A and B are shown apart, each in its own frame.
Chain A
Amino acid sequence: MTVYTPMPAAEPAARSIQLHPLSRRLMHWINAAAILVMIGSGWRIYDYYPALSLKFGFPYYLTLGGDLTVTEAISNDDGLVNALLWHFAAMWVLVINLLVYLVVGIVSGHFRRDFLPVSPRAVMHDLFAALRFRLDHRLGEYNAVQKVFYWGVLAAILVTILSGLSIWKPVQLQWLTWLFGGYEFARVVHFFGMAAIVAFLVVHIALTILVPQTFVAMVLGRASEAPHRSRGGGE
C-alpha cells in the first residue's frame, strides 16, 4: 500500500496526467480479449493431443469452446470444433490489431519514448530495487524492468503467432515450419510461447492490482497520482 508522506503545501496533492491515448487503450483491450480467446481455445486444442509428453492437461472449465453436451447434441462433436473456430477467428483480430499497434508504436515514437532505452545496468538496478519493494511506481514512466517485460511479452506474442502459423500451414509456409525445427517441435515452441504470455499476464495483473491507478489509466486514459517517494520507507 502506498504511504503518503506530508508534502509542502505549495505542491498539489495529486496530479492528473494523460497516459494512454484512446487508440492505445482500444488496442490494449482488443489485444487482451483476443489473447484470452486464443489461450482459452488453445488450451482445449492442446488437451486433444498434448504437444508435451507430460501427464498434464488444462481443466475443462478454463477452456473455451462451448459446453460438451451441447456441442455433442448439435454436431456430434466432443468440443474441439468450437475451440478451433474460436482460435482461427481470434487469430485475425490478434494479428491485425498487433500490426496496427506496431506501426502506430513506431510511427508515433511510443516505443522509442516509453520502451527505450533499456540498459542492462538499469535493469539490474531496478530489478533489485523492485525485489526489495524499493522501486517507485511513476505513472506514465516505465522503469527498466517494465521495459524489459514489455519487450519480452511482445517477443513472446510474435514467436507464438509465427510458430502458430507454422503449424497451421506446414506445407504452404514450410520455410517457417523448418525455422521452428519442424512440425512437432513448432508445436512445443507454440506451447512455451503461450506459457511465456501467461507468465507475463500473471505478473501484469498482479502489479495492476498493486497499483490500481494503472488500470484506471488504461481505461480512462488519465489517472491522478499523489506525488510519492520510495514506497519502502514506512511500512
Chain B
Amino acid sequence: MTDPIIMPKPVIAGIERRLFLRQTLSLGALTLLTGCDISDNDAVQSVLNLMSRWNDRAQALLFSDQRLAPTFAESEVVHDFRYNAFFPAADVPKLAAADYRLELSGLIGDKRPWTIEQLHALPQESQITRHVCIEGWSMIGKWSGPRLGDFLQRVGADLSAKYVGFQCADGYSGSIDMPSALHPQTIMAVKFADEIIPAKFGYPFKVRIPTKLGFKNPKWVTTIFVTNRFPGGFWEDRGYNWFSGS
C-alpha cells in the first residue's frame, strides 16, 4: 500500500475488528439458536405448544366440508405402497374375522358391536387419493369402504359432538374433529387397491381421511368413540399437531 492515509491505519483496523467481532458474535448467537437445545426449554416448549393449538384453530377455519381432496387416475396408483408404523411390519396385528368386533362407545345411541361382514355390507365408496405423511413422503393409493359419516349417523352418534376417537389393536389411538369425520371422503377403508385390505395396511379397516396427514388415518381400528372431551392420540400426545389437516 503506497497511498497516503489520513486516519492512522491501526485505528481503522481496530474499529473494523470490533465491528467484525460484534457481527460474528451476533451471528454466533443466532446459530446457537439453531444448534443448541433451546427447544428443550420448558418455556419455549409451552410457547410452541400454544402456537400448535393456534394452528389447530387456523386449520379448522381453513377446512371446508365441501372441498374434496384431489383424486387421481387408476394409472397413477402406486403398486408397491409403503408400510408405515412405529413397529416393524412383522409385528402388525393379525386380526381374525371370526373374533373381530368393532366396539362403539361414548356419545353413540346404538353401541352394538359390528362384525367385518356388516361393514362390508354397507354402501361402499372408492377413492384414489394422495396419502401425505408428516415426514414428507406421499403416495397415491386406492381405498374403498363405507363413509364414516354414514356409519356414525346409522349408529346414532351425536353428530354435534366435538371429537371422534379411535383405538387400535396395536395400542395406537387417535382422534379427529367431527367436521372431518363427516367429510364425504372420510371412509372406513375395508379395501385397498380393490382387494380386502391386508394386515400390514390395517385389516379389517383403516380410517382413510384424505383431508388429513397420514398419521391421522388409524389402522386396525377396534373401537370408535364420540366425545366432547379432547382425546388426544398416540403421536398427538408426543407433540405432533392435533388437527394436522391437508
Residues of chain A touching chain B, judged by Cβ–Cβ distance below 8 Å, are: 1-6, 13, 32-33, 36-37, 39-40, 45-46, 48-51, 61-67, 70-71, 74-77, 80-82, 84-86, 88-89, 92, 169-174, 177, 183-184, 187, 205, 208-209, 212, 215-216, 226, 233-235
Interface string of B121-148 (1 = CB under 8 A from A): 0000000001011111110000000000
Q: A170-B132, A174-B70, A183-B138 are known contacts. Are A1 and B48 too (CB-CB below 8 A)?
A: no
Sort A-B residue pairs by CB-CB distance and give the 4 closest, nearest first. A66-B39, A49-B136, A40-B34, A234-B3
The answer for the CA separation of A81 and B235 in the assembled complex, in Å, is 9
Number of interface residues of B (CB under 8 A): 55
A88 near B51 (CB under 8 angstroms)? yes
* Chain A nearest Cβ from B20, distance in angstroms: 6
Which chain A residues border B22 with CB–CB below 8 Å? 215
The answer for the CA separation of A184 and B64 in the assembled complex, in Å, is 23
B138 near A48 (CB under 8 angstroms)? no
Residues of chain B touching chain A, judged by Cβ–Cβ distance below 8 Å, are: 1-7, 12-13, 16, 19-20, 22-23, 27, 30-31, 33-35, 37-40, 47-49, 51-52, 54-55, 62-64, 67-70, 130, 132-138, 210-211, 237-241, 245-246
A172 near B6 (CB under 8 angstroms)? no
A212 near B47 (CB under 8 angstroms)? no
The answer for the CA separation of A39 and B69 in the assembled complex, in Å, is 29
B40 near A212 (CB under 8 angstroms)? no
* Chain B nearest Cβ from A169, distance in angstroms: 6
Beyond A4-B5, A36-B33, A89-B55, 15 additional pairs, beta carbon < 8 A: A4-B6, A4-B7, A13-B6, A45-B136, A49-B137, A65-B39, A70-B37, A77-B240, A85-B49, A88-B55, A171-B70, A172-B63, A174-B67, A177-B70, A212-B20
The answer for the CA separation of A5 and B48 in the assembled complex, in Å, is 54
The answer for the CA separation of A234 and B133 in the assembled complex, in Å, is 60
B239 near A2 (CB under 8 angstroms)? no
The answer for the CA separation of A169 and B132 in the assembled complex, in Å, is 10
Contact among B3, B38, B63, B136 with A48 in the assembled complex (CB-CB below 8 Å) = B136
* Chain B nearest Cβ from A225, distance in angstroms: 13
The answer for the CA separation of A64 and B48 in the assembled complex, in Å, is 13
* Chain A nearest Cβ from B8, distance in angstroms: 10
* Chain A nearest Cβ from B238, distance in angstroms: 4
Which chain A residues border B210 with CB–CB below 8 Å? 171
Sample of 13 A–B contacts (CB below 8 Å): A39-B34, A62-B34, A74-B40, A75-B237, A75-B238, A84-B240, A85-B49, A171-B68, A171-B69, A172-B62, A174-B70, A177-B70, A235-B1
